[in-house]
Structure 1
């Protein structure tokens, strides 16, 4: 199912997903989920997968796809899935307007 909420995949994230898939020699999708935990209450989890689960929502851009389960989607509404390559490291990152605060590492957040 394709997501209809205003959740987006940045061009940089789409490019990185395609690059990883090309290096692996297969089409990969980025699975993004949220679970309880981390130092701020919730944490983002990222995984690269070959296929979607029946309840996944799919966001596509420029030939790349991200998958989000229905439970996580409520916490990610209005977010952008991005990829940043900085001096401290390269990583997928969520720009989440719903987060009231987040930890220094940017992986956990509170609402």
Structure 2
């Protein structure tokens, strides 16, 4: 997929979660209105991509994004980070004009 990628760390985490659940290693990233900054990221495992989804792949793990969400995340990388605050998926979105402290919502 042009402009949206999934890091090796995120791919490894998706693979681990999917294996535990006996599900395909396919992560859906979507953007919804809400959150403290206007938009929020949503993640979930998928059985497969929809026909209109954009698909990126790293190490055999797929990242799928619907066309509406893709407009808001083009140029982004989905990463998985572990630090003192915990472990979470993080979207490094160059289109985000501002974000919130929790890292799950943004504005453009």
TM-score computed with the length of structure 2 as normaliser: 0.94
TM superposition shift of 1:98 = 0.6
- Alignment match of 1:67 (pick from 53, 64, 68): 64
Please give the root-mean-square deviation of Cα atoms over the aligned residues, in Å: 1.0
- Alignment match of 1:55 (pick from 52, 56, 70): 52
- Alignment match of 1:91 (pick from 74, 80, 88): 88
- The match for 1:110 is 107
Q: In the comparison of the two structures, how many residue pairs are matched?
A: 108
Structure 1: state its 5+ residue gaps.
none
Determine the C-alpha separation between the residues in 1 that align with 2:90 and 2:27. Answer: 12
1:42 equivalent to 2:39? Answer yes
Determine the C-alpha separation between the residues in 2 that align with 1:71 and 1:47. Answer: 17
1:14 equivalent to 2:17? Answer no
Secondary structure of 1:52 counterpart? coil
Comparing 100-109 and 24-33, the one that deviates more: 24-33
Secondary structure of 1:44 counterpart? strand
TM-score computed with the length of structure 1 as normaliser: 0.91
Structure 2: state its 5+ residue gaps.
none
TM superposition shift of 1:34 = 0.6
